[in-house]
Amino acid sequence: MPLENRPRLPRIPLSKRNRAVVRALNPMLVTYLEASRDLCETDSILFGAALAVCRIIGAKLPVAGRATQKSSAIPAWRKRIEDRIAKARALIGRLTSFRSGNNRPRIMRTVRMAFAGTNISLFQLDITQKLTERIDDLKQKIAAWGKRIRRFSERSRRFNQNHIFQSDQKRLYKSLERPEVCGAGPGPDQADTVAFWRGLWSEPVNHSEGPWMEVVASQSASVTPMDPVTITPEDVAEAVRRAPNCKSPELDGLHHYWLKGYPPR
């Protein structure tokens, strides 16, 4: 399964029942882990085992391929405030138009509704002052409603950042450096991509072969090649021993908890 299509593994309670399920699946993985050819295949096996444990214990899993998608639902109270702001702005436009001398029946009806329940007549001498006061009052209400929305947005942003910092610090730093872009659209055509890079790499280029390169090559000839690196189960156990359980440092989404519960053979 591609990394971008993997569901995000949830946190599971550290209970005796869940640990018993992990210990029960551990012997079943020995055959698959011994036949694993590389780290990618081992990681896929461990992720599949973790996914099986989550399904057995009844943990709620997000839909595959949507692990990084955030819900964009707007709260009902915010929609109501935005509707009030839109209606207030429309009313300000009608009142301003009436103050400028527009006496159309539709404008007059809206102005009468704006002053309904008051002892203000549209034909009194100080109607211009009353209109100005009403417009200023609506502008102050719009400013107060807007500040309420901004306070909520700022508080929500801080809360989400604190939550991400506690669960996955790396993802938080990435979001701060490069904000997520939703709706990026389809990727480039494969044939066009191959033709573009083939046109670049197929052109002959005359490199500058300086004498310093021969000196570096002669000095590097006596360097002993590094021995092949062999990762043992003890190395993995020591690396994740002090690591937090519910954090995944890479894109595979495999928490340290599963590396501790399923050590690779």
Please report, rounded to a whole number, the percentage of residues in the chain having pLDDT higher than 90: 12
> What's the pTM value of the predicted model, to 2 decimals?
0.41
pLDDT band at 168 (very low <50, low <70, confident <90, very high): confident
The string of pLDDT tens digits covering residues 196-229 is 888 888 888 777 777 888 888 888 888 888 888 8
Interaxial angle between packed helices 127-167 and 169-177, expressed in degrees from 0 to 180 and rounded to the nearest 10? 140
pLDDT band at 1 (very low <50, low <70, confident <90, very high): low
Two tokens, residue 122: 């549209």
Name the amino acid, one letter, at 234.
Answer: E
Torsion of CA 71, 3, 7, 76, to 10 degrees: 0
The string of pLDDT tens digits covering residues 177-196 is 765 555 556 777 888 888 88
Segment of 4-13, 78-87, 116-125 carrying the highest mean pLDDT: 78-87
Q: Is the pLDDT of residue 2 over 80?
A: no
52-81: average pLDDT: 74
pLDDT band at 115 (very low <50, low <70, confident <90, very high): confident
